[in-house]
Structure 1
Amino acid sequence: MMNYIYCSRIDGLSRERLYSQRNLLDPHQQTTFDQFRFDDDKRRMLLARMLLRYVLTKHEGYQGPHFPHLHYQQFGKPTIMGMKGEFNISHAGVWAVCAYNPLGDIGVDIEKRVPIDIHDYQDVLTPEEFTQLAQGGNVDFFRLWSLKEAIIKADGRGFSLSPTMFTLPHPFANGLTVDVAEKRWYLYSQDIGEEYVLSSASVSNKTALFSLAFDTLLA
């Protein structure tokens, strides 16, 4: 069964459109929206929910005019009551992302590449991963980290599943698997331009990635 990942850029969302779409949020989501200080944070939140509504309409027959209410599991993983498949959302910089799997768990993460000191991340990497990165091996930190985030989000236990509990396969290629806590995850990762890397972990092997124009998502 296929994974579906949809992404869209926040820079297509003008301030006027931003606030017109706010009305589609439920009262709790509107409160969260209003607490953001900067419009770009509001855009990321809103666009992620617009992508989720698109996913529900396309794959689950959702017909409601408003954004669906999100429930949160014990460790904070969002879910929707009565949904047949599973979803996960992420956003960074100018991108918002929503991933969907019709059969089971999925996690998605997008990261913007920025200058880092790898030693600041030693505590969240396995010794093998840190050695490869510190020695300048052919390892992309942001791809590795986005894959770890995707696995943790798919698992649903948050950071009670430590990123040091599993080592990612190296060299990486799409379709490789990693077993974590007796569950097998199929891995996928894709550069989005030069600045971003998007990764997912799912119970399904095949993945389709779509970039959507903002107007496609309008109510």
Structure 2
Amino acid sequence: MTSISEESFMYVVCVRIAGIEQITSINEYMHYLKFLSKEKKERLSRFNRKEDFLRSLVSDLLTRIMLVEKFNLSNMDIRISSNSYGKPYLDGHSVEFNVSHSGEWVAAVVSRFPVGIDVEEIQPINVDIARSFFAEKEYAEIVAKAEDEKLTYFFDLWTLKESYIKACGQGLSVPLNLFSFSLENEKIIFENNHSQEHYYFRQYQMHNQYKLAVCSSYPDFPSEITTWSLEQVLDTAKKLLYAERNG
């Protein structure tokens, strides 16, 4: 079993899957399944929509590439399980990871500390749903925004909240109104009535139609994210994961 590099902390990578709606067939991507677990292969084989297939495939490949590249693990040693709330974790290694995808983007984070990541495409939505699910203070702040700012602010809060529940590993079993966020001059203010554990947050600019937030129990974040193309992920998978698979 390979060891983890002690100087590794956190890495965030975003992949733009441009034009996925124009893909005519998933057959050209099927041979990448050999790098994944048996369970993941079976799950992907049941996908009916090619967009969902590709997002899920890239999420898994990207996670494996980052774990092999950044933490000196072997792809053959990467065994992913899920806790009782559905959060995936790595068997046998003290490494944390999380993935998210929306629209044309897939985002992944790996770390030696608990982490969560969420990316969301900014789409038209009735922001009044925040009245039912968000903290009262958050809803009040959304309502107070100018009309052309409400939607963007809603997704700022949504991605931060999603990143938190994914980092703490309890999913939607945590009521979204038990903790709240406020953004003041780019400073993220977090109030938590759910847990006494400390968590930290960072937002990244990746595309003007998307929001991205990362949560970690460790306060240091990379200053910027790494952006890859779909071709880079597939090429790296063939080189790095194939070498690990056959090495």
CA distance in 1, matches of 2:83, 2:48: 27
Correspondence for 1:213? 229
CA contact (8 A) 1:125 1:164 kept: yes
Alignment of 1:9-24 (within 5 A): 9-11=16-18, 15-24=26-35
CA contact (8 A) 1:75 1:158 kept: yes
Could you say if the C-alpha distance between residues 175 and 100 of structure 1 is closer, same or farther in structure 2, counting changes exceeding 3 Å? farther
CA contact (8 A) 1:174 1:189 kept: no
Counterpart of 2:101, as a letter, is H
Aligned pair count?
A: 217
Correspondence for 2:117? 108
Name whichever structure is richer in helix by fraction.
2
The alpha carbon displacement at 1:17 in A equals 4.1
Could you say if the C-alpha distance between residues 54 and 83 of structure 1 is closer, same or farther in structure 2, counting changes exceeding 3 Å? same
Can you give the 5+ residue segments of structure 1 that lack an aligned partner in the other structure? none
The alpha carbon displacement at 1:36 in A equals 1.4
The alpha carbon displacement at 1:33 in A equals 0.6
Correspondence for 1:60? 71
Correspondence for 2:140? 131
The alpha carbon displacement at 1:144 in A equals 0.6
Q: Which range moves more in the overlay, 3-12 or 181-190?
A: 3-12
Could you say if the C-alpha distance between residues 172 and 23 of structure 1 is closer, same or farther in structure 2, counting changes exceeding 3 Å? farther
CA distance in 2, matches of 1:79, 1:121: 30
Correspondence for 1:90? 100
The counterpart of 2:196, out of the listed 182, 205, 210, is 182
Could you say if the C-alpha distance between residues 42 and 186 of structure 1 is closer, same or farther in structure 2, counting changes exceeding 3 Å? same
2:186 partner SS: coil
CA distance in 2, matches of 1:155, 1:6: 20
Could you say if the C-alpha distance between residues 174 and 48 of structure 1 is closer, same or farther in structure 2, counting changes exceeding 3 Å? farther
Q: Which range moves more in the overlay, 131-140 or 77-86?
A: 131-140
CA distance in 2, matches of 1:165, 1:29: 34
CA deviation profile, 1:134-157 (whole Å, cap 9, x unmatched)? 232666110110000000000111
CA distance in 2, matches of 1:172, 1:3: 25
Q: What's the C-alpha RMSD, in Å, of the aligned pairs? A: 2.3
TM-score where L is the length of structure 1:
0.89
CA contact (8 A) 2:180 2:190 kept: no
The alpha carbon displacement at 1:86 in A equals 0.8
The alpha carbon displacement at 1:44 in A equals 0.5
Can you give the 5+ residue segments of structure 2 that lack an aligned partner in the other structure? 1-7, 239-247
CA distance in 2, matches of 1:55, 1:24: 14
The alpha carbon displacement at 1:192 in A equals 1.8
CA deviation profile, 1:62-82 (whole Å, cap 9, x unmatched)? 22369x332000111100112
CA distance in 2, matches of 1:75, 1:191: 29
The counterpart of 1:193, out of the listed 183, 199, 207, is 207
The counterpart of 1:74, out of the listed 81, 84, 96, is 84
